[in-house]
Structure 1
Amino acid sequence: MKFNLKKYRIGYSLLVLTILVSGCKKDLVEKDKSQFVKSNYFTTASQARTFVTGIYQKLYMFQNGDAYGESPFITMELFAGHATSLGQSVNNNNVINNRTDAVNPGFEDVWQNSYNAISNANIALANIPGITPFADADKKALLGEAYFLRAFFYYHLVRLYGDVPLITTPVTISSPDLYPSRAATSAVYDQIISDLKAAEASGLPETDATGKVSLGAVRTLLASVYLTTAGYPLQKTANYALAAAEVQPVLSDYSLFDKYDYLHDTPHKNQQELIFQSNYLVGVATNAITQLTVPFNLLVGVYGDHLGAMIPTNAFVASYEAGDLRTQERQFYFSSYPQNGNPSVILQFGEHALYKYFHVESALGNGQCDENWTFLRLPEAQLIYAEATNEVSGPTADAYTQINKIRARAKLAPLAGLTKDQFRAAIWKERYHELAYENKAYFDIQRTHQIYDVINNTFGDATTTKNEQNVTMKAQYYLWPIPQREISTNSKLTQNTGW
């Protein structure tokens, strides 16, 4: 199979409308904007459902990339400093060594695709209310999905780029938002919170096993927003209490798997502890998550290419506590595997690859990976609750219960008797270890201004503490640069400090 990550990738501009027609197996089709909105669409509930389903497809951009592994989900991990990448990837290695620039194509991909998703969410929110007939409850729930998705993409934009244009209505060629200015970070967060509160009141189901937005996803994302805004740069510490209260119902609506395998297999998609995922299906959309994360050029599975684009550092894997189940072979990581086509030969990697993203079904099948990517799962909700509660009132029995459930699954002793500062560090460490390589670490660095010093098993100031690759993060790396092409096109946009 010839490797081609761009097979399912489509370029967009802010003003191009794209929708799925006649079901999710069809290609995205461009329509003339004015006629599309005014007369050709949003006349039936079915059309509205199809349009909102199309917005979900924009989630794929986080796994888009090329044969060098220059994919957003990898870039975000490389910013955190605990992974290596292909030597051939100039952009990835520049990120690792803090020497990248604003023309890195990954920065542009995230920006453009996020605003395309937001544009379509704005259109949905403006036009769905006027559709008749449409059962009120169903209409309200569909609007809730659109509110959530708009908030989701803005949440990534504001954390990655800081002040960003805030557009909440459909844009036309004569709109003042055609070339927008950057809005203050605080205003963007206000809109995100408003959208998530609207989604929370929309009558969504508590859980959803079909891949659509659920109330659990809304609450978990809103709790994450509150936790983030309690830290840098806003430091609204009153939001710790809001985060704990918001996420508490999620803790009883979901439950942990009893096997880590279920995090990345086919039968357990969207179930149990998996709160919100980007959904893939062979014949509809596939990805190269496994190909990107297996060791370079070793025949681990039937894949035509084995790319090694994101490999954990040995020091990070060694930072787990002794006896942690997650570090045992074929739990979160693996260091050997039978050779494809010759299973009697065991390939020794000489490094630790991410078994967490190894899709057995495609590795042993036809090489077409439709593993889901997980954005939100129960352990994050549990750790949000524990951290937020600790910041409000110090360690509580309920907070210990949540983190100790995660540790019990990992075969670790429960935590007890810690001070507030000790418990905070334990929670942060658990986030690194349980949510490893799930695009959480970089955002934790941003909001805490601390990095996990895995060599010394402690936390240190992010811009003065060397990571295990002997790199000290530059302060400018708290944010991504505004893509240079956007600045060249829109004179109202300014660049982030240092870029």
Structure 2
Amino acid sequence: MKKHTIKVFLIALTTSLFYSCGDELEIINPNRLAADAYYTNEDQAIAAVDAIYNTLIIDGLYQRMTPVIGDGRSDETKSRSPWAFLQQTSNFTVPGTDDAVGWCYEGYYITVNRANQALENIPLIEEMDEDLRGRLLGQAYFLRALAYFNLTNIYDNVPLVLSVPKSEDDFFPSNQEVTQATIYAQVEADLTEAIASLPADYTSVSGADSGHVGRATLGAAQSLMGKLKLYQGDYDTALPYFRTVVESQRYDLAANYQDLFSQDPSVEAANPGRIFWAEFTQSLNSVFNWGGDPSVNWRQFIALAPTYSGADFYDFFPTQFLVDELSSERTVDGNLDPRYAATILSYNEEEGLTQAYGRDYFLDRNLNYIAKYTLANSGGDPFTAGINYHVIRFADVLLMYAECLANTGDIPTAAAQVQRVRDRANLPDREAEFAGYNLTQFMNQLAHERVTELAIEGLRYYDIKRWGWLEDSSRLSQLQANDDEFDTFANGREYQPLPQGELDRNPNLVPNSAN
């Protein structure tokens, strides 16, 4: 958002859980405004949409759990956590009875329910600038699309809730006839609305949102639409969305890769490659945001910092596979790939890697640790880490664009996109070599390029899954060699189980393949 405090109004009926029912619905909370007493003016409409954004920083979303589930199930990291949920998520054995299984589920339905409220009520406000109304509705559609895209990729067949509950029965939605294709179709419909309504940026709009930074833009919606189609293997349809973003000239690669993961607000603001992100702060507020409703007293730090830090919780560490991938190619000057130190914390005097967390190296010099989304390269208090989390960034769009180009027959142009990403890392120019690859060769190279550019950003597992590697015995064997947590993978465990508590409370909810 623009550098102002987002006002969060928590409106009655906004609970994301579908088990509140009966007389409990009649309890009046004096600290909350009832829906029928709200949505009377522009300011309230803006605040209602801001409340949807606010969910991005809760534990189940980008503060911790959404990235952790993606990273933990990839072959880039291994869990050494004493917390069973993290260990069992990483080795595909987590039971639905573990309460933490529901944190993402509950969090995303908070997003969905707040978006549904905005979509139902903002059109009813009588005196309101119509352009502003359209932009706010476009943002609500985008955020609901993002929530459902993540929900179905984490849990598969989740309930599709598109309106605010009006009766007790509405709190028990069914997923029995819902498939991932159903969810994807709704995501597409929402993004179509978003694309029609969102501006390219907020510097040229007039209205109360003029100049705001961090709101969903046209580029964000187009990028997510391309990703949606890519995840369905529809390269032809995905291609023009990515091409439009790439050719818009609105985004570029940051000159310094490590700056992508800085908590310095001025460095973050200068990053030309950020398309959509969850914004965290270095505030010293007293309440740690581990759960519950976001409030003005929340610290709003990114909890990945202590979770991934070798000096703090140390719940995960990089696999040797990831270390080898990032070490496999030297720059044109003969140096280590600069993305290595931004991603992995190691001690190597010959490479100039001799510090940790802003001081002389003090950890076990024989081990490797995670640097990305921690303060390993700067130092500071991890419990006030304000690193913004990249939900969509330009380098990912370039590589997804390259994948679509290659799979629609244009490997030479695809090679140019890959080399553009490599150029930022000062790696040798191999564009001509890649342009001569067949599709299999190019996709193998692209898998490597995605690891080195996007490691520990919650994406690798979903690449593995959508490429069909979990169903390919030879690919699965390679994954097991990379990370022995895949030894306990079995068909049906591609998703997190639906929370058993939700299944117990909702008689219309059916399990997924992982339950």
1:105 equivalent in structure 2: 99
Given the superposition, is the C-alpha separation of residues 411 and 62 from structure 1 closer, same or farther in structure 2, using an over 3 Å criterion? farther
1:141 equivalent in structure 2: 135
1:216 equivalent in structure 2: 219
The question of whether the paired residues in 1 share the 8 Å contact of 2:337 and 2:425 is answered with yes
Alignment of 1:334-345 (within 5 A): 334-336=345-347, 338=355, 343=359
CA-CA distance at 1:427 after TM superposition: 1.6
Given the superposition, is the C-alpha separation of residues 498 and 347 from structure 1 closer, same or farther in structure 2, using an over 3 Å criterion? closer
Q: Note if 1:468 corresponds to 2:462.
A: no
CA-CA distance at 1:33 after TM superposition: 12
More strand by share: 1
In structure 2, C-alpha distance between the alignment counterparts of 1:49 and 1:109, rounded to whole Å? 27
In structure 2, C-alpha distance between the alignment counterparts of 1:328 and 1:188, rounded to whole Å? 35
CA-CA distance at 1:223 after TM superposition: 0.5
Gapped regions of structure 1 (runs ≥ 5): 1-9, 18-29, 231-238, 299-305, 454-458
2:199 equivalent in structure 1: 204
Gapped regions of structure 2 (runs ≥ 5): 1-9, 21-27, 204-211, 284-298, 348-353
1:43 equivalent in structure 2: 40
Helix, strand or coil at the partner of 1:371: coil
In structure 2, C-alpha distance between the alignment counterparts of 1:403 and 1:339, rounded to whole Å? 31
In structure 2, C-alpha distance between the alignment counterparts of 1:123 and 1:366, rounded to whole Å? 35
1:190 equivalent in structure 2: 185
Helix, strand or coil at the partner of 1:357: coil
The question of whether the paired residues in 2 share the 8 Å contact of 1:81 and 1:467 is answered with no
CA-CA distance at 1:279 after TM superposition: 0.5
Which residue identity does 2:475 align to in structure 1? D
Q: Note if 1:179 corresponds to 2:134.
A: no
Helix, strand or coil at the partner of 1:113: helix
CA deviations over 1:101-151 (Å, ceiling 9, x no partner)? 112333201111111110110110000011132111111001000000000
In structure 2, C-alpha distance between the alignment counterparts of 1:467 and 1:361, rounded to whole Å? 30
CA deviations over 1:471-491 (Å, ceiling 9, x no partner)? 333112212111111111112
Q: Note if 1:495 corresponds to 2:511.
A: yes
In structure 1, C-alpha distance between the alignment counterparts of 2:384 and 2:478, rounded to whole Å? 43
CA-CA distance at 1:418 after TM superposition: 0.8
Q: Note if 1:159 corresponds to 2:153.
A: yes
The question of whether the paired residues in 1 share the 8 Å contact of 2:257 and 2:338 is answered with no
Q: Note if 1:363 corresponds to 2:379.
A: yes
CA deviations over 1:194-214 (Å, ceiling 9, x no partner)? 100100000423478721111
The question of whether the paired residues in 1 share the 8 Å contact of 2:371 and 2:377 is answered with no
The question of whether the paired residues in 1 share the 8 Å contact of 2:94 and 2:496 is answered with no
Alignment of 1:264-283 (within 5 A): 264-265=261-262, 266=264, 267-269=266-268, 271-283=271-283
1:235 equivalent in structure 2: none
CA-CA distance at 1:254 after TM superposition: 0.4
Alignment of 1:322-401 (within 5 A): 322-323=329-330, 325-326=336-337, 330-336=341-347, 338=355, 343=359, 347-359=363-375, 363-364=379-380, 368-397=384-413, 399-401=414-416
Question: What TM-score do the two structures reach when normalised by structure 1?
Answer: 0.82
The question of whether the paired residues in 1 share the 8 Å contact of 2:229 and 2:235 is answered with yes
2:231 equivalent in structure 1: 228
Between 1:109-118 and 1:165-174, the stretch displaced more is: 165-174
Q: Note if 1:95 corresponds to 2:95.
A: no
In structure 2, C-alpha distance between the alignment counterparts of 1:350 and 1:243, rounded to whole Å? 44
The question of whether the paired residues in 1 share the 8 Å contact of 2:343 and 2:456 is answered with no
Which residue identity does 1:37 align to in structure 2? A
CA-CA distance at 1:382 after TM superposition: 0.5
Between 1:169-178 and 1:243-252, the stretch displaced more is: 169-178
Alignment of 1:245-324 (within 5 A): 245-251=240-246, 252-265=249-262, 266=264, 267-269=266-268, 271-283=271-283, 285-295=300-310, 298=311, 306-320=312-326, 321-323=328-330
CA-CA distance at 1:352 after TM superposition: 2.4
Between 1:169-178 and 1:257-266, the stretch displaced more is: 169-178
CA-CA distance at 1:330 after TM superposition: 2.8
Which of 439, 442, 446 aligns to 2:461? It is 442
Which of 397, 404, 423 aligns to 1:408? It is 423
In structure 2, C-alpha distance between the alignment counterparts of 1:65 and 1:205, rounded to whole Å? 24
In structure 2, C-alpha distance between the alignment counterparts of 1:33 and 1:462, rounded to whole Å? 52
CA-CA distance at 1:460 after TM superposition: 4.2
RMSD: 3.1
The question of whether the paired residues in 2 share the 8 Å contact of 1:451 and 1:460 is answered with no
CA-CA distance at 1:256 after TM superposition: 0.2
The question of whether the paired residues in 1 share the 8 Å contact of 2:115 and 2:140 is answered with yes
CA-CA distance at 1:329 after TM superposition: 5.8
2:111 equivalent in structure 1: 117
In structure 2, C-alpha distance between the alignment counterparts of 1:228 and 1:362, rounded to whole Å? 36
Which residue identity does 1:82 align to in structure 2? E
Q: Note if 1:73 corresponds to 2:67.
A: yes
In structure 2, C-alpha distance between the alignment counterparts of 1:464 and 1:330, rounded to whole Å? 25
Which residue identity does 1:184 align to in structure 2? T
In structure 1, C-alpha distance between the alignment counterparts of 2:255 and 2:398, rounded to whole Å? 16
Between 1:197-206 and 1:324-333, the stretch displaced more is: 324-333
Query: Identity across aligned pairs (percent)?
Result: 23
Instruction: Select the structure with the greater relative contact order (CA < 8 A; seq sep ≥ 6).
Output: 2
The question of whether the paired residues in 2 share the 8 Å contact of 1:63 and 1:289 is answered with no
Between 1:148-157 and 1:420-429, the stretch displaced more is: 420-429
Which of 238, 243, 248 aligns to 2:238? It is 243
Question: What TM-score do the two structures reach when normalised by structure 2?
Answer: 0.80
Given the superposition, is the C-alpha separation of residues 211 and 359 from structure 1 closer, same or farther in structure 2, using an over 3 Å criterion? farther
The question of whether the paired residues in 1 share the 8 Å contact of 2:281 and 2:384 is answered with no
